[in-house]
Structure 1
Amino acid sequence: MDRIKDAIRTIPDYPKPGIMFRDVTTLLGDAGAFRAAVDAMVQPHAGKKIDKVAGIEARGFILGGAVAHQLSVGFVPVRKKGKLPWQTIGQSYELEYGVDEVEIHVDAVEKGERVLVVDDLIATGGTAEAAILLLRQAGAEVVGCSFVIDLPELGGARRLEKLGVKVASLVAFEGE
């Protein structure tokens, strides 16, 4: 996992002072590290019954698409409100200052389908929690969440585990 962690750029004081932004675009640009990350995200789920991978906008699309490809399953984009072109269902969630919403198409999953949720990073867990609730509302069974990065001090993984969802991350960074 050192190769993966070393491929992630840290940008101090972005988007505001005191925040250490963990940038996975450098990992995505490193073919070997990208492959290692996708392989590591797939490995715990290989051979298990998964019907679809749901990727959270935007870096979750890249990682989730690659994971879905490796697992030979379909992909569901979880998008911000108003970005999908057809009939949708949505789930709102709280931000630090306000509320946002994620959506999927009404026919993105079928009742009982087993879905793995993928994103680049788990911080407070608000967006991932909204994705889980949305997929459950659509009738899916969320079998787990997979992230490249966990910021454990922010409690997101614990928040998702309280929903009964197993959370896996490849690397952890201390702080925000």
Structure 2
Amino acid sequence: MTFDSADQERLDLLKSKIGEYPNFPRDGILFKDIFTAFRDGKVCVATKHLMLNYIRKNHPSVEVVVGLDARGFLFSFMIASELEIGCVPVRKKGKLPGETTKVEYALEYGTDVFELQTDSIKAGQKVIIVDDLLATGGSLKAATELVRKAGGVVQECIVVLELQGLNGRKNLDVPVFSFIQYDDE
């Protein structure tokens, strides 16, 4: 994707502020921390504009933004409020009231369960899914399954950071866009 000069400056600012923490959460991992970048208010504004400009250009008819537990919530609410469309959370098991649809997904060390309120997406609604990070793709795949079970149409998954070395993109059957890519894990 080619960015205009203003968005390229925003992206460069965001990249420059991503924190790195060696050996977290375990030895041998260099953790890329988006929250370090968000300590700077200019980065918050830049990230908002990057995401909104991308979505306005590529998904002008989107009707619902789905954010993944928990960092995806930050982006989904911001996007939805700016576009004046719905915002729907996908949460870990037991965190949502009412009737929910569930999907179990694989983690490095076991499994987890994501839930979506059954009546939160209408059949045929155009949906984008947002999160901070694409690693192995398990959580985004589960969210995609949930949206489909609800009758929604996933247009794209959008993330800020992608760890390309983990090949998460190959586990997804929808388009994926990442603003920043890292080759290492």
TM range (shorter): over 0.9
Matched position secondary structure for 1:90: strand
Structure 2 length-normalised TM:
0.89
Structure 2 Cα separation of the partners of residues 130 and 6 of structure 1: 31
Instruction: Identify the residue that residue 171 of structure 1 maps to in structure 2.
Output: 180
Q: Could you say what secondary structure the match of 1:49 adopts?
A: coil
CA drift at 1:31? 1.4
Paired residues for 1:10-159 under 5 Å: 10-46=20-56, 48-159=60-171
Measure, in 1, the Cα distance between the counterparts of 2:168 and 2:184.
13
In the alignment, structure 1 residue 2 sits paired with structure 2 residue 19: no
State how far apart, in whole Å, the 2-side matches of 1:29 and 1:76 are: 26
Q: CA RMSD in A?
A: 1.2
Query: Counterparts of 1:69 and 1:28 in 2: how far apart (Å)?
Result: 19
Which 10-residue stretch deviates more, 11-20 or 150-159?
Answer: 150-159
Return the offset for 1:10: 0.8
Q: Which segment is superposed worse, 43-52 or 60-69?
A: 43-52
Matched residue count? 173
How many angstroms apart in 2 are the aligned matches of 1:169 and 1:103?
Answer: 24
- Deviation, structure 1 residue 39: 1.5
Aligned amino acid, residue 29 of structure 2: I
One-letter amino acid of the counterpart of residue 64, structure 2 = K
| Per-residue Cα deviation, 1:79-135 (whole angstroms, up to 9, x for no partner) | 001111221111111111211110010111000011110000000100000000110
Amino acid of the residue matched to residue 177 of structure 2?
A: A
Q: Runs (4+) of structure 1 moved beyond 3 Å?
A: none
Report 1 or 2 for greater relative contact order, CA contacts < 8 Å, sequence distance ≥ 6: 1
Identity value in percent: 39
* 2-structure distance, mates of 1:128, 1:158: 11
